[in-house]
């Protein structure tokens, strides 16, 4: 067996301590599979004295994680600090420039700076690996860069945020509203104290940006994504969706159409009997459409100590084996500028929920606006009737142009009897 592959770990939160646990508990089997031992040389975190449930006494403690980039005894730096800027970004740039491999779980860093970092890595003959940045323990990056590398991809989509999926599942199962379930999710550790990145779709968008780059050979362009979250979904939407045979999911969708790429993260309604409709709780799921393979649904827990640390260690094992791949599947010089597809021009069927005053003429005015925008109603449902209180009305439509649906919803919102912003979601039969 050859010399040990030596690493430094920056960031000792849930994932960092999980990596140490895996590398110590499974040391023999990992060494056998990697063809050499993997040895932790140094660790770094904000607090040296915090009890993390792992023994750190055999490793050098580094007060400033950035100093790892200059150490001569490291083959690889494992960045688990998080954040797209600051210390994490500086450490990764420094390590790559210092001709050290980097393994990271930092989706925001790769989404915002992936092209730059890929250039640095390739220029210095080292690798930037990030399996754990997307979908936790699901090996979707490896599947796309290796197992499905023979295929031309037309789409990649799925449920990319476990927190949102958990909240939507709980809302459906308990009948409670978003804010109430979110509070429970925070107490259970499924949602952060500041849940904005999760519930407003930003976390899923970071992941979709990365998947889109691999699928279509384009430079990561986070600003090109259209992103909306689930904070406006309420218990009424969950109930009505079920009536129409749907479940609500926050989906990330990237599709290539005639050289242009649609990238959108948004709440959608999907058929209850569809594969994605069956994904519940904190689970993620990813589909990849290749032209020579019918890809099965890749599903599993998208976060947590075990799944995410497992993916980090898998990346380390690849590097110890001497496996080095282009960051986004092709040499960086071949990555193309992304040509965004105008989402407004896309066609689809829609779910439209209105909250209106129950008075004569409401449906006539709504129908007139929909007619004038070439929108045909497929189904309608209304619960209750109270002239003194707003009532919800839900419409589902036949195929319509997205821009027409958005404009119609804006005009309906401006009517006197409409008491809140309509809830508009695309129906995706996936």
pLDDT score recorded for residue 269: 97
Of the listed 207, 249, 336, 407, which one is catalytic? 207
- Other CB atoms within 10 A of residue 84 CB: 16
Lookup: tokens for 137: 């323990």
Q: Indicate the pLDDT class of residue 49, thresholds 50, 70 and 90.
A: confident
Same fold, 140-301 and 344-427: no
Band (pLDDT 50/70/90 cuts) for residue 430 is: confident
Instruction: Show the CA angle centred on residue 413, arms to residues 411 and 416, nearest 5°.
Output: 100
5-137+307-331 is classed CATH 3.40.1710.10: no
Whether pLDDT at 1 is above 90: no
Architecture of domain 140-301: 2-Layer Sandwich (3.30)
Quote the pLDDT of residue 214.
Answer: 98
**Distance set, CA 363 to CA 63, 212, 369, 407, 421 (Å):** 66, 41, 10, 17, 17
Is residue 411 over pLDDT 80? yes
* Confidence class for position 2, pLDDT limits 50, 70, 90: confident
Domain 344-427 homologous superfamily, CATH: ACT domain (3.30.70.260)
Domain-by-domain residue ranges, the chain?
A: 5-137+307-331, 140-301, 344-427
Mean pLDDT of the 10-19 span: 95
- Residue whose tokens read 């004295």: 49
The model's confidence at residue 223, banded by pLDDT at 50, 70 and 90, is very high
Confidence of residue 413 (pLDDT cuts 50, 70, 90): very high
Is the pTM for the entire model greater than 0.75?
yes
Mean pLDDT of 349-353: 97
Residue showing tokens 């779709």 = 201
Beta strands (DSSP E) in 222-312 are 226-227, 246-257, 260-271, 283-290, 293-294, 298-301
Paired sense of beta strands 226-227 and 260-271, if any = parallel
Residue 127: predicted pLDDT: 98
207 is catalytic: yes
**pLDDT band of 348, cuts 50, 70, 90:** very high
The model's pLDDT over 54-108, given as tens digits with 9 standing for 90+, comes to 999 999 999 999 999 999 999 999 999 999 999 999 999 999 999 999 999 999 9
Q: Work out the widest C-alpha separation in the chain, in whole angstroms.
A: 82
Helix (H, G, I), strand (E, B) or coil at 334: helix
pLDDT score of 37 more than 70: yes
Per-residue confidence (pLDDT) for residue 302, from 0 to 100:
83
- Beta carbons within 8 Å of 402's beta carbon, 6+ residues apart: 343, 344, 345, 346, 347, 348, 426
Render 66-98 in DSSP notation, one character per residue: GGGGG-TT-SEEEE-S--SSHHHHHHHHHHHHT
How much is the average pLDDT of 335-349?
94
């Amino acid at each position: 067996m050859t010399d040990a592959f030596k690493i430094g770990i920056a960031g000792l939160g849930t994932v960092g301590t999980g990596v140490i646990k895996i590398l110590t508990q499974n040391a023999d089997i990992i060494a056998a599979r990697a063809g050499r031992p993997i040895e932790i040389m140094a660790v770094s975190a904000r607090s040296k004295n915090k009890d993390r449930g792992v023994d750190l006494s055999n490793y050098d403690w580094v007060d400033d994680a950035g100093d790892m980039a200059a150490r001569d005894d490291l083959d690889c730096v494992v960045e688990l600090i998080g954040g797209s800027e600051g210390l994490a970004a500086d450490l990764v740039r420094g390590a790559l420039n210092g001709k050290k491999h980097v393994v990271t779980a930092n989706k925001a860093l790769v989404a915002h700076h992936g092209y730059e970092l890929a250039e640095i890595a390739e220029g210095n003959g080292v690798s930037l690996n990030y399996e754990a940045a997307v979908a936790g323990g699901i090996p979707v990056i490896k599947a796309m860069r290796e197992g499905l590398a023979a295929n031309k991809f037309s789409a990649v989509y799925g449920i990319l945020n476990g927190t949102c999926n958990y909240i939507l599942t709980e809302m459906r199962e308990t009948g409670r509203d978003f804010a109430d379930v979110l509070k429970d999710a925070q107490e259970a550790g499924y949602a952060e104290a500041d849940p904005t990145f999760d519930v407003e779709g930003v976390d899923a968008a970071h992941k979709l940006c990365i998947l889109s780059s691999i699928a279509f050979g384009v430079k990561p362009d986070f600003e090109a994504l259209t992103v909306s979250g689930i904070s406006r979904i309420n218990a009424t939407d969950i109930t009505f969706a079920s009536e129409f045979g749907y479940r609500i999911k926050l989906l990330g969708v990237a599709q290539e159409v005639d050289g242009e790429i649609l990238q959108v993260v948004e709440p959608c309604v999907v058929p209850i009997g569809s594969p994605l409709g069956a994904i519940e709780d904190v689970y993620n799921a990813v589909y990849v459409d290749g032209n020579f393979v019918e890809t099965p649904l890749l599903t599993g827990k998208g976060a947590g100590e075990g799944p995410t640390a497992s993916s980090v260690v898998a990346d380390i094992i690849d590097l110890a084996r001497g496996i080095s791949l282009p960051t986004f599947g092709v040499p960086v010089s071949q990555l193309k500028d992304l040509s965004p597809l105008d989402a407004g021009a896309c066609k689809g069927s829609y779910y439209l929920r209105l909250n209106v005053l129950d008075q004569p003429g409401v449906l006539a005015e709504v129908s007139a606006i929909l007619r004038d925008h070439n929108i045909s109603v497929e189904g309608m449902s209304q619960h209750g009737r109270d002239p003194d209180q707003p009532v919800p009305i839900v419409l589902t439509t036949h195929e319509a142009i997205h821009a027409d649906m958005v404009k119609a919803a804006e005009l309906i919102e401006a009517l006197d009897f409409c008491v809140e912003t309509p809830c508009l979601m695309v129906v995706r039969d996936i």
